[in-house]
Structure 1
């Protein structure tokens, strides 16, 4: 059986490939969703010389942070005026709302336009949206980000890319300018799965970390000593090095809400259920996080679950030496290595900015 592609499809491909030679910095870029992620991405694009021309958020005050950008009343209007659209939205229903309808993003997509979605959402929903975008002549890249807000502000986060590989390679130079690590995961849908699983793992690490600190403190071990010992041993993790200081600050990472973390847990549960994988450890962590969310509210910081242990033991885990602590991320051989600031840390090698 011979399959003949429509002539319009072939023309579309030729037009796209000829356009890939155009400098990415000449493309008009718009961003929908100016929360923590969208705001940081917008500023990183501007700082690296990209042509950010349009922004849209339901909170109009957030748009005022970008006075040189045009403001639009709906996603369709914004998409019609730019070459590349970034979205950074909290939950699957928000992505669906922005995408659909007469004034939605899909209605504004046309030949050659690119949509890069940074939202952590339902991968099956994303797969369906991708097919509709292709029917309009546009192209989509799934691109969830990970690593923490403070790192994102400095362009130090990791981004996963999924979709057609030629498109991923086309936009890679731009993403490499605004992130420290860019990983291509494969076909559409494959980037959201490791992102969700990574977020679920942080819950397990965080809960265990809280128990470790509590045991050490009640046993009379100095908190800073505990931190240094675990950090230098096989029990160390990204969460221990970042969540531990936040626990000792009492901030519990306010850059990401527990409601968003619980949303990611639910997405992971759906994936596990579909593929018939029991979630004994991850499931326990998921329910503990739900309990923390019900207790402290949707907007509580994402690492707050150990506070329940503090309250149950009538012991807080504050340590004043971490009051001014902060961190940055360095990409070393593909791994995210934490660099600590605001505390005295023994270093064998200098930070990049100290060279």
Structure 2
């Protein structure tokens, strides 16, 4: 794979937001040969990308003015995206007609649709394209990417998305990427609760956690959470690939969707409460596998 930045058929690209997910995603675009300009609120996080050949700029607006045809955004929440898009130094102030903004953040679905409408007036296409797969998938380029918005814009950027993800799916109109991500987070949270409960049952009955994980991971109970987070729980590793506080933020969007669509989510409500307990105890910046710590207290044991 070429490591020399090149002008692809789309020209250069921008990347805003170089956190746990964004940094390896931007690195993968550079490794694939794309010419990348970057911005991050904490400039030091740009340094390794600059060493790889990226250009570091001073604001989101500067990135848009630099002339990329595609601009990726990967930040924490709805208000962060709004500031990056519409503040005085935001993208909308400097964007040229024809720019495609691909937003990998997980945000409110209605807000995503509103952002698309607002940017359309400036001739800018906005795709809500949240991702799943954690830092492991971001580093490996194996993310699942769920895209809502203009279908022609999606087809234009799809080759780039296939650098970042193993599964790239067009989900429909603006906001549908975020609705899909909410469905994803329901299954992530509930599956992780099941993993924790199964591991507690194994531990309390003297069964080797390592043997249990190996035995069931190849069958119907196998899952990403078991294979990746189950091992971390067994090892007492609470380091974040995805933080408790960020999953709680996502579950807030899920709760809102469930209310407006009259879709009762009983299991999701239960696990959200358990995560809220964890966050209230000051553990919000641990990885989501720290849900197991709640079960340790409930069961009076340690994994």
Please, what TM-score do these two structures have when normalized by structure 2? 0.92
SS of structure 2 residue aligned to 1:45: helix
Match of 1:326 in 2: none
Equivalent residue for 1:69, pick from 54, 60, 66:
54
- The answer to whether the Cα contact below 8 Å between 1:26 and 1:50 also exists between their aligned partners in 2 is no
- The answer to whether the Cα contact below 8 Å between 2:69 and 2:98 also exists between their aligned partners in 1 is yes
The higher radius of gyration belongs to: 1
- Name structure 2 gaps, 5 residues minimum: 1-6
Give the distance between the partners of 2:252 and 2:158, measured in 1 at CA: 30
| Cα shift at 1:115 | 0.6
Match of 2:146 in 1: 160
Match of 1:237 in 2: 223
Match of 2:176 in 1: 190
| Cα shift at 1:289 | 0.8
Structure with greater helix percent = 2
Q: Deviations over 1:263-312 (max 9, x none)?
A: 00000001111111112111111111111111133212112111122134
Match of 2:94 in 1: 108
Please, what TM-score do these two structures have when normalized by structure 1? 0.79
2:23 equivalent to 1:39 = yes
SS of structure 1 residue aligned to 2:290: coil
Give the distance between the partners of 1:296 and 1:245, measured in 2 at CA: 23
SS of structure 1 residue aligned to 2:115: helix
| Cα shift at 1:314 | 3.5
- Name structure 1 gaps, 5 residues minimum: 1-22, 318-355
Give the distance between the partners of 1:153 and 1:281, measured in 2 at CA: 31
Q: How many aligned positions are there?
A: 294
SS of structure 2 residue aligned to 1:273: helix
CA RMSD after TM alignment:
1.6
2:89 equivalent to 1:79 = no
- The answer to whether the Cα contact below 8 Å between 1:44 and 1:153 also exists between their aligned partners in 2 is yes
Q: Describe how 1:1-355 pairs up with structure 2 within 5 A.
A: 24-52=8-36, 54-67=37-50, 68-81=53-66, 82-252=68-238, 254-317=240-303
- The answer to whether the Cα contact below 8 Å between 2:274 and 2:294 also exists between their aligned partners in 1 is no
| Cα shift at 1:48 | 0.5
Q: Deviations over 1:173-194 (max 9, x none)?
A: 1211232111111111111112
Identify which range, 83-92 or 100-109, moves more after superposition. 100-109
- The answer to whether the Cα contact below 8 Å between 2:106 and 2:250 also exists between their aligned partners in 1 is yes
- The answer to whether the Cα contact below 8 Å between 1:24 and 1:174 also exists between their aligned partners in 2 is no
Give the distance between the partners of 1:116 and 1:297, measured in 2 at CA: 31
Identify which range, 217-226 or 39-48, moves more after superposition. 217-226
Identify which range, 226-235 or 179-188, moves more after superposition. 226-235
Give the distance between the partners of 2:124 and 2:204, measured in 1 at CA: 59
- The answer to whether the Cα contact below 8 Å between 2:16 and 2:73 also exists between their aligned partners in 1 is yes
Q: Deviations over 1:134-162 (max 9, x none)?
A: 11011111111111211210111111111
- The answer to whether the Cα contact below 8 Å between 1:29 and 1:83 also exists between their aligned partners in 2 is yes
Give the distance between the partners of 1:203 and 1:149, measured in 2 at CA: 17
SS of structure 2 residue aligned to 1:136: coil
| Cα shift at 1:50 | 0.9
